[in-house]
Amino acid sequence: MRDPQLPSDDFLRDAVLYREDLFGPAEFAPLAGACRAGAAVVFTGLKQITLHLPCPHSDLSRFNQLTIRVCNHAYTPLLAGVRLIHGNRAATSFSGGREEFPPGQWCEMHFPRECFGITGHPDGWQDVRALEIFFAQEKTAARDQEISVALKGIAGELRRLPPGPRLTESGLREQLVGEAGDTEPLLKRLLSPAKSWGPYGPENIASRIPPPHFYPQGTAADILAGRIMGQQLPAPLSWDANPLGELEWCHFLHRHHFLRLLVRAYLATGQEDYVAALDELLQSWILANPVPLASNGGAGPAWETLSIAWRLREWLWIMGLAWSSPAFSRATKVLMLRSLWEQAASLMDHQGHPNNWRIVESAALALLGLCLPEFRLALEWRDAGLRRLEREYHQQFGADGVHREMSPLYHAICLHALLEVKEAAGVQGLELPDLFGKPLERGFDYLLALCRPDFTWPSLNDSGGLDSDFTALMSKAGESLQRPDLLWCGSRGRRGRPPEFSSRVFPDAGLAIMRSSYAARANYLLLRAGPPGLAHSHQDALSLEIAAGGAACLVDPGISRYAPGLLTDYYRSAAAHNMPLPDGAAPDYASLNFSQRVKPPGEKLSWSLAGPLEMAAGVFDGPWEPGLSGVALSRTVICARQEYWIVRDMISGQGRHQVRVGWQFAPGKLVMPEHQRFLDYLDRHNLLRLRLIPITVSAKPAIEILEGSLEPPGGWVSRGGQDYPAPQARYTWDAELPCSLVWVLLPISPD
């Protein structure tokens, strides 16, 4: 957060004990593109500048902050970041790359050690071989532009940090009223067991919506025994713990989703030891994690803007469900109120990535303002959150109601945040912007249409595993929006009534869904024929999914981790998806700018979803990864009498090419009857579900079946955050372009 300029009695600051210049013009001048300008060195580049600085001072452990003296010569604000190259190549420390600095003035940019994200197990800052410094324009920029920065130096600093929170108790009292006066009644009301926390009460079924991660949730008893998200941690808990060497696990530790297990156990049993443990953990986190000053929190697990937002929402549940417990100490309650203020201040000062982050962050601000009216800045928090939500909704959602990351997981996360704000505002009778009406319902219409017959969801883009489950959210939406169809979905068909529609197209997202009905044994097909999405995208142009007789058969494999690795890269690749690949090339989505990544397909998507023959078709004509040009794909899917599908893949271009089509199945097995060319897919219960029949006039294809292969990677799906072998069939032809491939996908009733 920025320094709020409060008196030292109200707000605690760092003390810089030692400072040392590490790099200056002499070190910058030999770098590529350097241009000496007096006491500074200027660098210019298109869209991004990256500087690699070998570090002769490999032991930086005497510092806990890096400071860069820099001037932005561009016309718009730029973003900066730092990455440390460790001697242990399997480890990475990085600042997140989102520290913003304005144009036209010299400034000192601070990168506190606590704001670095870490993967692997680096030995702190003791073995740093090089620094990489990044300067870039915001990814949402309309066009790539030339940027220029001037550098004077990089220094290391050692700071003495106060315990958290920085806002003192006297500072808290000053923040409860707009003018001097007796704050004791307000503080007493905030600390009262009878304090109302809006919708955050035991009767709200939203408390059972699971957290958005795939680490083991465990039980309250696990937490009491020191086992959190599947990992045994020493006591007392160190908030710097990183048992897996995964930044994601650390982030979720600091987002405090796991603490809700203690609250639920308390509500179920009335045992105060659960709240006592909650009290101890909250107090230890607050004392150990003062908010970083002059930083947006970077990629640090504790103060990354998204971590703040998720943690604030968890704290509201804790306050709503456990505040009245005698085991919840006054000291911890006061610490929480002080910390809530500085977390809100940090979100007011900074925003994260221009995707789902900003919706979750904006919702958290609005919710704090709605639920904590005793704070002097509550209206500012509420109104800023609502303004940002309205802006971000129109930037991030298409007219068809689909979030532009094209990920069901992040779509659901955004809807959850909006729904929470709608409910909190409803408690106060506050009128909300129009987006909380029909636009919000359109978002749930999309999730409803996307739901498979077995009440799981496809894992398009980064959406976790192939068995994603949003029924708890749908149940809450059905209740809140008074929608029987959403309630039906959320209750797995036990309440409400099924939707009136069956097949649907979402033209902005480029998604077509064909289904025979909403019955338990319905047939279902999803065709992905739209833009990659503004973030979390996979190379899945024209991929499809199928459920036959109610069971998922052909699937998007999902993803288990975001940390770099063989299977992470594989899951995002075209080779992991059900699509044609000419010459093994894949869509080059990395070369697209923001507007291209979310541009609706327009005429590249066509459909006719009426009558006995339903049809949907899409076109992908590039860009391709380097080495392939002049080739386009089109895929047409025809559903005959809602009983089976015919798929025609057309590869246009010239010359002879190798064409490969991959089909990734859910866990089960593939059988090829002797002397036959078709494949039968049997599910995990050995029930025949789907027959894949290639029909083509070209030469006989080579057929390869991979399952759990690492060299080459193939035949993997993600489920519950774990990697599972699952059969993948790869058909390969040498073909003269243009060529056409035809497939029949025939559901087989297991009866």
Contact status, residue 729 vs residue 665, Cβ threshold 8 Å: yes
Query: Which residue spans within 89-170 are E strands per DSSP?
Result: 92-94, 99-101, 106-112, 117-119, 128-136, 146-160
| pLDDT greater than 60 at residue 179 | no
How far is the CA of 392 from the CAs of 181, 389, 537, in angstroms? 38, 5, 19
Give the pLDDT confidence score for residue 452 in this predicted structure: 97
Q: How far apart are CA 117 and CA 251, in angstroms?
A: 9
Q: Which helix (H) or strand (E) holds 311?
A: helix 305-322
Q: What is the pLDDT of residues 92-137, one digit of tens each?
A: 999 999 999 999 989 999 999 999 999 999 989 999 999 999 999 9
pLDDT tens profile 588-640: 998 888 889 999 999 999 999 888 899 999 999 999 988 788 999 999 999 99
> What average pLDDT does the segment 564-587 reach?
93
Longest dimension (CA), the chain: 90
Q: What is the pLDDT of residue 522?
A: 94
Please determine, for residue 181, whether its predicted confidence score (pLDDT) is greater than 70. Answer: no
393 pLDDT above the threshold of 90:
yes
Q: Give how far the C-alpha of residue 131 lies from the chain's centroid of Cα atoms, to the nearest Å.
A: 27
Same CATH fold assignment for domains 186-350 and 360-501: yes
Contacting residues for 391 by C-beta, under 8 A, at least 6 apart? none
The set of residues, in sequence order, having a beta carbon less than 8 Å from that of 494 and lying 6+ positions away, is: none
Mean pLDDT score, 296-302:
96
pLDDT of residue 700: 82
Cα–chain-centroid distance for residue 165? Answer: 28
Q: What is the mean pLDDT of the chain?
A: 94
Q: Assess whether pLDDT exceeds 80 at residue 479.
A: yes
Mean pLDDT, range 519-533, rounded to an integer: 95
Judged against a pLDDT cut of 60, whether residue 13 lies above it is answered with: yes
Percent of the chain with pLDDT over 90: 87
pLDDT given for residue 329 in this prediction: 97
Q: Report the top-level CATH class of 505-747.
A: mainly beta
Q: List, as own/partner pairs, every contact residues 221-230 make where C-beta atoms lie below 8 angstroms and the sequence separation is at least 24, other chains included.
A: 221/265, 222/261, 223/258, 223/259, 223/261, 223/262, 223/277, 224/273, 224/274, 224/277, 228/253, 228/258, 229/253, 229/258
Q: What is the pLDDT of residues 145-175, one digit of tens each?
A: 899 999 999 999 999 999 999 999 999 999 9
Half-sphere exposure of 66 (CA within 13 A, CB side): 27
* Cα–Cα distances in angstroms (integers) from residue 63 to residues 12, 60, 259, 504, in the given order: 20, 6, 33, 57
Q: What span, in angstroms and rounded, lies between the C-alpha atoms of 681 and 668?
A: 7
CA angle 65, 140, 312 (to 5 degrees): 55
Q: How confident is the model at residue 178 (pLDDT cuts 50, 70, 90)?
A: low
CATH superfamily of the 15-160 domain: Galactose-binding lectin (2.60.120.430)
Q: Which residue from 591, 586, 587, 538 is spatially nearest to 47, judged by alpha carbons?
A: 591
Query: Cβ of 736: how many Cβ atoms within 10 Å?
Result: 12
Helical packing angle, 356-371 and 408-428, nearest 10°: 20
- What are 610's two structure tokens? 């009426």
State how far the Cα of 423 lies from the Cα of 359, in Å rounded to an integer: 16
DSSP E strands, 177-256? 227-228, 231-232
DSSP secondary-structure letter at 624?
A: B
Residue range 697-715: mean pLDDT, rounded:
89
**240 vs 590, residue with greater confidence:** 240
Angle, in degrees to the nearest 10, between helices 471-481 and 438-450 = 140
The predicted-structure confidence for 427-436, as pLDDT tens digits, reads as follows: 999 999 999 9
- Report the CATH fold assignment for 360-501: Glycosyltransferase (1.50.10)
Phi, psi of 32 (to 5 degrees): -60, 135
Kind and range of the H or E element at 738? strand 728-747
pLDDT at 751: 66
Q: Where are the domains of the chain?
A: 15-160, 186-350, 360-501, 505-747
Residue 252 CA neighbour count, 13 Å, CB half: 21
pLDDT-based confidence at residue 738 (cuts at 50, 70, 90):
very high
What's the rounded mean pLDDT across residues 301-306?
A: 98
Per-residue pLDDT band for 662 (boundaries 50, 70, 90) equals very high
Average pLDDT value for residue range 647-656:
94
SS3 label, residue 69:
strand
How far apart CA 577 and CA 660 sit, in angstroms, is: 12
Mean pLDDT of 40-64: 93
CATH number for domain 186-350, candidates 2.40.340.10, 1.50.10.100, 3.40.630.10, 3.40.50.1780: 1.50.10.100
pLDDT of 658:
92
